[in-house]
């Protein structure tokens, strides 16, 4: 039985933006609930268990800062990201003072949203690489660091599991080596010359081939990066 995925609450009063965020998060493997006003958002956050809250600052009935402060009183370890207007430095400072873990400024890219969410989940102890998922009939268990196919099992390192989980979450596109260095290794300078990704990818591919044979799971796109083989 699969362990529950990270559960995220999005509180946003713009219906189109709320729908877009919910769709993207669901596509990337999260369980998501949406609320269009502050009162409902606070009620949901207090009565349900969420691993992360995405809170817009400007909301009907109750603003995001008030929600953040109230949540911090009741759930001090709750992961919270504030959504602010572009260049609203005062909102950013107020959000951090209210207890937010991070912020996203509008307009934002979907990649930025995913990167910040994954970073906060790691810091708050809900690492996306810890979840369980099945791809190409291979069951990846991020909690116990194993992969299973039919009756065979292999052990993976924490970093190998983080790599395959990251590729799985972004399976709709090519993932560059630079992106992996930033988001999986957390390198501040992704232009540094290193064969770290190449070496880990080689070892990971070797383990997977031992499990499923020569059928490729991770494809190299020359000059661009890596991508999971399309699911059959």
Q: Dump pLDDT digits (tens) for 120-178.
A: 887 666 555 567 889 999 999 987 889 999 999 999 987 898 899 889 988 889 999 98
Of 84, 108, 123, the last residue of a domain is: 123
Distance of CA 174 to the CA centre of its chain: 17
Among the candidates 100, 123, 146, a domain finishes at: 123
Selection from 93, 2, 24 nearest residue 10 by Cα = 24
CA 136 from centroid of its chain's CA atoms: 21
pLDDT at residue 130, as a whole number: 63
DSSP string, 16-37: HHHHHHHHHHHHTT-EEEEESS
For residues 178-190, give the mean pLDDT: 72
Average pLDDT, the chain: 85
Number of other CB atoms surrounding residue 152 within 10 Å: 11
| Residue 138: predicted pLDDT | 95
Domain residue limits at 99: 7-123
Q: Where are the alpha helices (DSSP H) in the chain?
A: 15-27, 38-47, 64-74, 89-98, 110-123, 158-169, 177-183, 196-212
Which carries the bigger pLDDT value, residue 77 or residue 115?
Answer: 115
Give pLDDT, residue 135: 92
CATH assignment at residue 37: 3.40.50.2300
Q: Is residue 2 part of a domain?
A: no
């Amino acid at each position: 039985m699969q362990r529950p995925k990270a559960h995220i609450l999005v509180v946003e009063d713009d219906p189109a933006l709320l729908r877009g965020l919910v769709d993207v998060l669901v596509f990337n493997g999260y369980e998501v609930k949406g609320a269009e006003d502050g009162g409902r958002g606070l009620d949901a956050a207090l009565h349900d268990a969420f691993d992360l809250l995405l809170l817009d600052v400007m909301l009907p009935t109750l603003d995001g800062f008030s929600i953040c402060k109230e949540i911090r009183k009741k759930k001090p370890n709750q992961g919270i990201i504030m959504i602010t207007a572009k260049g609203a430095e005062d909102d950013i400072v107020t959000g951090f003072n209210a207890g937010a873990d991070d912020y996203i400024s509008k307009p934002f890219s979907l990649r930025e949203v995913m990167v910040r969410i994954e970073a906060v989940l790691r810091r708050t102890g809900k690492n996306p690489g810890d979840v369980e998922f099945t791809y190409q009939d291979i069951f990846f268990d991020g909690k116990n660091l194993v992969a299973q196919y039919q009756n065979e099992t292999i052990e993976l390192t924490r970093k190998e599991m983080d790599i395959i989980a990251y590729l799985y979450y972004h399976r709709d596109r090519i993932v560059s080596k630079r992106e992996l260095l930033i988001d999986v290794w957390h390198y501040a300078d992704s232009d540094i010359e290193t064969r770290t990704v190449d070496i880990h990818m080689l070892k990971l591919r070797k383990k997977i081939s031992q499990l499923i044979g020569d059928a490729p799971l991770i494809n190299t796109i020359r000059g661009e990066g890596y991508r999971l083989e399309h699911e059959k």
